[in-house]
Amino acid sequence: MVLFQQIAFVLALAVATGLFVKNIRQIRRNILLGKDEPCNDHPGQRWKNLLLLAFGQKKMFRNPLVAMLHLLIYAGFIIINLEVLEIVLDGILGTHRLFHGFGGPLYSALINAFEFLAVGVFFSCFIFLCRRNILKLRRFISHDLDGWPRSDANYILLAEIALMTLFLTMNAADTLLQARGYSHYATHGTGDFAFSRLLHPLLNGLSNGALVTLERTCWWLHILGILAFLNYLPYSKHLHILLAFPNAYYARLEPEGKLRNMPAIQQEVLYAMQPETAPPTPADGSAPPPPPAAASAAAPTDRFGAKDVFDLSWRNLMDAYSCTECGRCSAACPANTTGKLLSPRKIMMSTRDRLEEVGRNINANGRFTDDGKNLLSYISVEELRACTTCNACVTECPVSISPLEIIVEMRRALIMEDSNAPQEWNALFGNIENNFAPWKFSPDDRDKWTTEA
């Protein structure tokens, strides 16, 4: 029986690990479809961001109560699953509570600490379920989450409650069998644990055989649940559990309000405003060579802005996968608050949906084949134009995602690639091009008001 358990466990572990690695490789490939963007400067500041934003969840503490509940779930789930190492080794080696032989009293203290965290995770998840489904906060009932996204969050919370319940029930059955001196359980002597012992009255009526079956069933369901959760992550918003760390490390260090210029366009504007700075036209009449800065900036792409995921940087695409769908960005967005169609959360979700579709296209064809779609098939022009570039979404995001970068790049493509702008904007653009100002006055006449009575 022990040998059968070992074989079954090794097979389950191998299959789950293989599937997880395959999915993570596909996600990495999808992210790297984006343009290169160097993000390796100032490593000290980046490590600080990693510690404060990813581990410490600094931005969450604007709402201390919610932050503590979230931190409890996060820390509890991670720390409790240190026990998974023991479960994995027990499954492979056919042992039971392998680490107890090395830890003794320390082992019991650790399991007691894990039980405190398990109970904390249980009640935190219950509170979050109530917030989502009973209190129905505005950002949780938004149409952004219609369908799978709303169910996804509930499934994860219910799964975590189930895993914590299995953990406590497994410990209760185990310690009760120890107290009865039954079989190999009698050799461990861990003593009762802080919370699982409260379940003993519910289990006392069970026979030894039934308790063994309950303990083994909880053990199997606990580890299989964790392996299933691991393979659920790539299809869930909870992928941020893994990606929050690289996302925090590679976050932009520039001020949030700073927009990146396009050097090639910036140089053309300079030539228009100061013609004397333009390079001379060659004698053969060909176009003058671009300045080195503009040439190097334009070299990686022949497109202005972004029409599809390939035109965004790999960091923008990692942002899309890292989005927690918490909705804090949309709740802070003034355009969204006033009833405009724009929702920064939806921008990130739509970018991820398009990237996933591109990934499936590559899987099916070996390479990407034109499907007649782009990001504008997912994100409307009305959404893009509603953005005021106020950076509220960037400031609020707990994992340093920037929906604004995607919005700005897509707006650039609309105007510079498709000439798609409101008539009022086109008039302004024409005035700037011809008169070097938004107004329809010749530069020579602009100061006449100073001489008029």
CATH code for residues 263-275+296-440: 1.10.1060
Query: How far, in Å, CA of 290 to CA of 293, rounded?
Result: 8
Determine the pLDDT at residue 289: 59
Judge contact between 240 and 319, C-beta under 8 A. Answer: no
- Closest to 223 measured CA to CA, from 22, 79, 16: 16
232-to-156, 159, 223, 271, 304 alpha-carbon distances in Å: 9, 11, 14, 54, 37
From 82-96, 117-131, 163-177, 293-307, the region with the lowest mean pLDDT: 293-307
352-371 pLDDT per residue, tens: 999 999 999 999 999 999 99
426-to-102, 207, 268, 421, 431 alpha-carbon distances in Å: 75, 82, 18, 6, 9
Structure-block tokens of residue 392: 């509220």
Q: From the centroid of its chain, how far is CA 228? A: 19
Quote the mean pLDDT of the chain. 86
| Residue range 127-134: mean pLDDT, rounded | 89
| Residue range 376-385: mean pLDDT, rounded | 94
Q: List the end-to-end C-alpha distance of the chain, in Å, as a whole number.
A: 105
Residue predicted with more confidence, 207 or 441: 207
Determine the pLDDT at residue 265: 79
The dihedrals phi and psi of 315, each to the nearest 5 degrees, come to -70, -35
Query: How far, in Å, CA of 357 to CA of 374, rounded?
Result: 10
Q: pTM of the entire structure?
A: 0.82
Q: Which residues contact 307 (CB under 8 A, 6 or more apart)?
A: 374, 375, 376, 410, 413, 417
211-231 pLDDT per residue, tens: 999 999 999 999 999 899 889
396-410 pLDDT per residue, tens: 888 889 999 999 999
Determine the pLDDT at residue 446: 72
Parse the chain into domains and list their residue ranges: 2-249, 263-275+296-440
pLDDT at residue 298 tops 90:
no
Query: How far, in Å, CA of 429 to CA of 436, rounded?
Result: 9
pLDDT at residue 201 tops 70:
yes
Query: How far, in Å, CA of 215 to CA of 220, rounded?
Result: 9
Judge contact between 168 and 195, C-beta under 8 A. Answer: yes
Determine the pLDDT at residue 284: 61
Express as a percent the part of the chain with pLDDT over 70. 94
pLDDT at residue 252 tops 50:
yes
- Closest to 31 measured CA to CA, from 292, 236, 321: 321
33-55 pLDDT per residue, tens: 999 988 888 889 999 988 888 87
| Residue range 379-385: mean pLDDT, rounded | 94
